[in-house]
Structure 1
Amino acid sequence: MNPSARLDINLQQLADNARTVTDWCNQSGIEIAGVVKAACGDVRIAHAFTEGGVDMLADSRLENIDRLRRAGLQQPMLLLRSPSPSQASQVVEQCDLSLNSELASLRALSATAEQLGKRHAVILMVELGDRREGILPGRLPDMVARIQDLPGLDLVGIGTNLGCIGGVRTTEYNLGQLVQCAERVEQQLQRSLRYISGGNSGALPLLLQQRIPERINHLRIGFTILQGKNPFTDQPLSGLNTGLFTLNAELIEIQTKASMPEGDIVVDAFGHVPQFEDRGDRIRGIVGFGRLDTDLATLLPRDPGVEVLGASSDHLVLDLTESRPWRVGDSLSFDLGYGASVQGILSPYVRKTFIHDAQADRGHRHRAVPRSVE
């Protein structure tokens, strides 16, 4: 444990965000699965989601779901990452639903469910442009027919994922395609589907603008609850708290040094060739965490005069020249985006503290405008 690095997590503001997003969705007849994979199985964060009214929890890691089950959480659990055949036993035993796109995995789930005397619900994922998991729409009739023949499985929905690999924006058009796919499946099955799952936080801007297709009735939301932001713009959404995750670290060195390295520049330990600008002598500070503990791309110093220059595994190097005077031992605070917060929670070298005060100044609440996107 690194005593000089501490991650503060505001659970009360997290629960408030979950409640606000749940209300938005419920007003439009949409159920949400609260995506807690960024919590890495931490039951306190999962409880904040359920305190906010989330009825279903979702994670991509069976290890995390197992931790939540052993902690006593009884909410329905959705496995986000497509299971492999070798995971069938764990999936059926620990999860109520799973997202699927491969017949081999579905057959394994079926065999396990039949062996255990259980039924397992599946949502069939459809590829609509982002090029991650999902079958092509033209293959739906054949896949649905094959699933119908598998004992122990219940095909309860059709879903899609957008924005995670290809960066494809969630739109009325591609969600409309999803609805059309679902309606074709319903005609084939001669029954209604329980879920038409329209993706992740990227669907919320459409929801808030009242443009989401009417039959979308399920979303998988994590980013916006955790960050309080529009995932397309990274800007705050009205009515939500931001700044729920704060990384605090002590300065372990402050020295005036030349801004340019001296000597031949080679590839660093992370496979990059560092680039520098000659700005003369600058006041440099170092804090005691690095790339093992956080994501530089989504790490932002609270002090606008502090600039992140780079990091090695264990050292974050800062330019303090334009900031106030600092001393070794002083603590600097950083706002964390999604990637930085996930790595901070994952890091065993960062101490975690949990805040229950809704008025703590670590977060910022934006006035509620429930049917617009800022």
Structure 2
Amino acid sequence: MYPEVVIKIDKYKSNIKSLVERCSGANVKVWIVTKSFCAHPHIVSNLIDCGIDGLADSRIQNLKKMKDLNIKKILLRIPMLNEVDDVIEYADYSLNSEIETIYALGERARKKGKKHNIIIMLDMGDLREGVWPDDVDDFINKVLKIEGVEIKGFGTNLTCYGGVIPDENNLGRLVKIAKEMAEKYKLDLEYISGGNSSSYYLLEDGKLPVGINNLRLGEIAILGRETAFGKRIDMLHDDAFILRAQIVEIKNKPSVPIGNIGMDAFGNKPYYEDRGIIKRAIIAIGRQDINPDGLIPLDPNIDILGASSDHTILDVTKSERDYKVGDVIEFKMDYGSLLKAMTSEYVDKVVV
């Protein structure tokens, strides 16, 4: 049923294996981030033999889907206090930056007769989650007094909020702080996690600071590009995930609406380029399911004009194909559009 996302599992696995091989050469272990495809069971079950060190997700609901898989599971998003029971139950590791949350995790872990592994997140300037570097010493001192949890590493997140590029300085400082804390408090660190797909370019350039031994990779494995500068990685496929949507109307119409222009359904006042009379195709997918600005038609002669919640309007005038109602248009997607499509219950997911 359309619309659908077709997941070419062999291409996706090939990307992951290539990344694991490249990272292994730099003594870096890979956690594959599964949130963009909502930890689809058929997909994640195919990843266990790719040489990855763990599966990471920001949603407990997705970790629950993976509970029977024999591999490390990591909660990426800072735990909410109301979900600490599930964190102990379904996550082998969680990323943390709040002492109150770690107290709660320790209490629940003790009640369950477990010890929960935590990665302390440091804010190296992106201003999302993390303990500020000046406060790390005091923070670690407090955490070590909490029974039921064990510090297994330090990590940071860059580019996702502030757009700060990972570099030798900020990741180098992460390594320095982690080693200082390990020496001072006799910590047995398993991981110094140097970020996400935006850190990969440093590894490619041979500039990843020594000591970084983990990367959390999502977008680069799915779309075949690093996220610091958006560079395509030659060894990776960029078409492992393809959106397919069906044409429900195709007509020759003006390119500019007729009448006074007000706000669209999303509160924006749109602008229209006057292209004269054009051949307009409407496909049955809209902003409720995708970000239209993140769609890349495989037919290079198609232009995306805009979208409402249920429909996306295309200019197919210059296409060499004579499109008709019922024909299917295929697209690559950027990360935001893929995230919405895979989350939408109205978009089928087909693993091939």
TM class by smaller structure: over 0.9
Determine the structure 2 residue equivalent to 1:237.
Answer: 233
Matched, 1:103 2:108: no
Give the C-alpha shift of residue 192 in structure 1.
Answer: 4.1
Determine the structure 2 residue equivalent to 1:24.
Answer: 22
Q: Cα deviations across residues 274-318 of structure 1 (Å, max 9, x unaligned)?
A: 111122111111011111111212211111110000011111100
Give the C-alpha shift of residue 183 in structure 1.
Answer: 1.7
Q: Cα deviations across residues 321-372 of structure 1 (Å, max 9, x unaligned)?
A: 11122111211111112122222111222222111xxxxxxxxxxxxxxxxx
TM normalised by structure 1 equals 0.91
Aligned match for 1:184, one of 162, 168, 180? 180
For 2:226 and 2:194, locate their aligned partners in 1 and report how far apart those are by CA, in whole Å: 16
For 1:233 and 1:39, locate their aligned partners in 2 and report how far apart those are by CA, in whole Å: 23
The amino acid of 1:117's aligned partner reads G
Gaps of at least 5 residues in structure 2 are none
For 2:338 and 2:54, locate their aligned partners in 1 and report how far apart those are by CA, in whole Å: 22
Range with greater deviation from structure 2 (310-319 or 39-48): 39-48
Matched, 1:342 2:342: no
Q: Cα deviations across residues 88-134 of structure 1 (Å, max 9, x unaligned)?
A: 11101111100000011001001101111100011111011111000
Aligned match for 1:328, one of 325, 330, 336? 325
Determine the structure 1 residue equivalent to 2:157.
Answer: 161
- Contact 1:100–1:125, Cα closer than 8 Å, also in 2: yes
Determine the structure 2 residue equivalent to 1:9.
Answer: 7
For 2:264 and 2:337, locate their aligned partners in 1 and report how far apart those are by CA, in whole Å: 21
For 1:259 and 1:57, locate their aligned partners in 2 and report how far apart those are by CA, in whole Å: 47
Structure 1 residue ranges, 4+ long, deviating more than 6 angstroms after superposition: none
Aligned match for 2:262, one of 259, 266, 271? 266
- Contact 2:299–2:319, Cα closer than 8 Å, also in 1: yes
For 1:4 and 1:43, locate their aligned partners in 2 and report how far apart those are by CA, in whole Å: 21
Give the C-alpha shift of residue 67 in structure 1.
Answer: 1.2
Give the C-alpha shift of residue 264 in structure 1.
Answer: 2.0
Count of matched residue positions in the alignment of Structure 1 and Structure 2: 351
3-state DSSP class of the match of 1:247? strand
Give the C-alpha shift of residue 4 in structure 1.
Answer: 3.1
3-state DSSP class of the match of 1:230? coil
TM normalised by structure 2 equals 0.97
- Contact 2:197–2:228, Cα closer than 8 Å, also in 1: no
Determine the structure 1 residue equivalent to 2:124.
Answer: 128
- Contact 2:292–2:312, Cα closer than 8 Å, also in 1: no
Give the C-alpha shift of residue 18 in structure 1.
Answer: 0.8
For 1:164 and 1:182, locate their aligned partners in 2 and report how far apart those are by CA, in whole Å: 22
Q: Cα RMSD (Å) of the superposition?
A: 1.2
The amino acid of 1:62's aligned partner reads I
Matched, 1:207 2:227: no
The amino acid of 1:352's aligned partner reads K
For 1:61 and 1:162, locate their aligned partners in 2 and report how far apart those are by CA, in whole Å: 19
For 2:212 and 2:155, locate their aligned partners in 1 and report how far apart those are by CA, in whole Å: 9
Matched, 1:63 2:51: no
Specify whether residues 27 and 284 from structure 1 end up closer, same or farther in structure 2 by C-alpha distance, changes over 3 A only.
Answer: same
Matched, 1:301 2:297: yes
Give the C-alpha shift of residue 272 in structure 1.
Answer: 1.4
Determine the structure 2 residue equivalent to 1:352.
Answer: 349
Aligned match for 2:137, one of 137, 141, 155? 141
The amino acid of 1:77's aligned partner reads K
The amino acid of 2:192's aligned partner reads I
The amino acid of 1:321's aligned partner reads T
Identity among equivalent pairs (%): 36
Determine the structure 2 residue equivalent to 1:50.
Answer: 48
Give the C-alpha shift of residue 11 in structure 1.
Answer: 0.6
Gaps of at least 5 residues in structure 1 are 356-374
Q: Cα deviations across residues 180-230 of structure 1 (Å, max 9, x unaligned)?
A: 111221122124422111000111111011110110011111111111112
- Contact 2:199–2:228, Cα closer than 8 Å, also in 1: no
Give the C-alpha shift of residue 84 in structure 1.
Answer: 1.6
3-state DSSP class of the match of 1:242? coil
3-state DSSP class of the match of 2:164? coil
For 1:68 and 1:272, locate their aligned partners in 2 and report how far apart those are by CA, in whole Å: 40
- Contact 1:14–1:49, Cα closer than 8 Å, also in 2: no
